[in-house]
Structure 1
Amino acid sequence: MEWATYGRQRVYGSAWVEVWLDDVDVPGLGRINHHVIRMPRPSVTSVVTDEQGRFLLIYRHRFITGRWGWEVPAGWADPGEDPAEAIAREVEEETGWRPGRVELMAEYDALAGISDMHFRSYHVTGCTQVGKPEDASEATAVEWVPEVEVVKLLTSGGVADGPSLAALSYYLGPYRLCRHS
C-alpha cells in the first residue's frame, strides 16, 4: 500500500538538515501530517582495512547521546561531489591516512520511516599515512584495530554509532562472504 502525498511544508532548514511536514493519506488511517527529516547532502561511511586485517577506527565523544565510542570514518558529500571522492576526502581529513582504493560495499536508507537519509558505505584499502588528522574535533584517537578487537567492540557496545555498526557488520558478514564465494 502506497501513501499518497498532497503537499509538504518546510518547517526548518539548514545546510545540515531540513524538517518538513508532509500532508499524506495513509491507507487504512486517512489523511495526516507526517514529520519528515530530509538530508540535503549524501551520507558516506567507510570500512578501512590494511594488509594485516586491521581496521582504521576513530574514538570520539558524541555530545547528543553523551556517549564515547569507536566509529568508522564518515561524513557527507559536498554539493556536486562524487560520494566515492567524498569518503576518500573524509578518511584523509579524519584520520591522516590517504586511501588507495575505494570500492562501494552497500547502500541503505537509515531511517526510511521518517527520513530520506541515504548512506553509501565503502571499503577502503591501500592507505598511506600523510599526516595527522586535519580536525582535532573529529577524534580523540585514531587507531588500527585488529579484527578480533573490532568484533569485541561490536558485541560489547563499544561501537554504538548506527552507520559504523552497519558498515562494520556488513563488511564482516555479507560483503566478505560474497567476495570469497
Structure 2
Amino acid sequence: MQWTNLNEQTVYENRWFRVNLADVVLPDGKHLDHFLIRLRAVAAATVVNEANEVLLLWRHRFITDSWGWELAAGVVEDGEDIAVAAAREMEEETGWRPEGLRPLMTVEPANGLIDARHHFYWCCEAGYTGHPADDFESSRRAWVPLKLVPDMIARGEIPAANMAAALLMLHHMRLG
C-alpha cells in the first residue's frame, strides 16, 4: 500500500530544516494533510582500537533532558562528501582524526516524519590532534569496551536509537 505525495508547501524554514505540509493520497483515494520535516543528511564516525574499545561522547540532550553515550555526528554541509563530513565531525568533537573510514550503516531514524538519513562510519585507526574544537558538544570523551554496549543499551545509557543500532552493528562485526 503506497501513499502518494501530490504536493508540498513549506510552512517554516531555517538553516537547519524545513517543515512542509504535504497533500498525500492514501491507497483508498482519500487525501491526508501530513506534516514532514526535511533535513540535511547526518554523518557520524568513530574508531575502534586494538582493545575493541570504541570512542564515544557523553552528552546531555536538552530536548529530552537525557544523558547518554553517542558517536560524534553532525549535518553534512551542502556539497560536502558524506565520509568527509563524518571525519570532520569526529575530529571536531573528539580531537581524533580518523584514518581509513569505512561505511558501517545508513539508517532513517524517523522516516514517518523526517527524511534525514544518518550515515555511520568507522575505522580502526585515528590520530590524536589535540583537544576537540567543539568540546561544548559533550561533557567527556571515553574509550568504552564494545563488549559492554548491549548492557549499556539495556540500561538506557545509549538512548538514541540510531546510535544504539550503529554500536550494535559494530559489536556484532567485531565481537560477534
TM-score range, shorter chain: over 0.9
When structure 1 is superposed on structure 2, of 107-116 and 60-69 the one drifting more is 107-116
Q: What one-letter code is carried by the residue in structure 1 that aligns with 2:158? A: V
Given that 1:47 and 1:171 are in contact with CA atoms closer than 8 Å, whether structure 2 keeps it comes out as no
Where do 1:57-76 residues align within 5 Å? 57-76=56-75
1:97 is displaced (CA, Å) by 0.6
Q: Tell me which residue corresponds to 1:33.
A: 33
2:114 alignment partner in structure 1: 115
Which residue of structure 2 aligns with residue 89 of structure 1?
Answer: 88
Counterpart secondary structure, 2:164? helix
CA RMSD of aligned residues (A): 1.7
Q: Distance in 2 between matches of 1:176 and 1:129?
A: 22
Aligned to 2:164: 165
Dislocated runs of 4+, deviation >4 Å: none
> Quick check: 1:143 aligned with 2:142?
yes
- Check the 8 A contact 2:149/2:168 in 1, yes or no: no
Instruction: Say whether 1:101 aligns with 2:106.
Output: no
Contact kept in structure 1, 2:45 and 2:89, CA below 8 Å: no
What amino acid is the match of 2:31? R
CA-CA distance at 1:83 after TM superposition: 0.4
Contact 2:146 2:171 in 1 (8 A): no
Q: Distance in 1 between matches of 2:44 and 2:89?
A: 9
In structure 2, C-alpha distance between the alignment counterparts of 1:5 and 1:122, rounded to whole Å: 32
Distance 1:126 1:84 in 2: 15
Give 1:141 shift.
0.5
8 Å Cα contact 2:94-2:135 kept in structure 1: no
2:9 counterpart residue number: 9
What do the CA deviations read for 1:155-176 (whole angstroms, capped 9, x no partner)? Answer: 2110002221121012223x45
Which residue does 2:77 correspond to in 1? 78
Cα separation, 2, equivalents of 1:112 and 1:123: 24
C-alpha displacement of 1:4: 2.2
Whether the 8 Å CA contact 1:46–1:167 is kept in 2: the answer is no
1:45, 1:163 within 8 Å by CA — same for their partners in 2?
A: no
What is the alpha-carbon distance in structure 2 between the residues aligned to residue 166 and residue 148 of structure 1?
14
Residue of structure 2 in register with 1:21 after alignment:
21
Q: Counterpart amino acid of 2:35?
A: H
Residue correspondences, number: 176
How far the C-alpha of 1:19 sits from its partner, in A, is 0.6
Q: Which sits farther off after the overlay, 60-69 or 42-51?
A: 42-51
Alignment identity in percent? 36
CA displacement at 1:136 relative to structure 2: 2.5
Q: Retained in 2: the 8 A contact 1:75–1:87?
A: yes
User: What is aligned with 2:53?
Assistant: 54
CA offsets, 1:8-59, max 9 Å, x none?
11011112111100001111361011111110x2111224211111010010
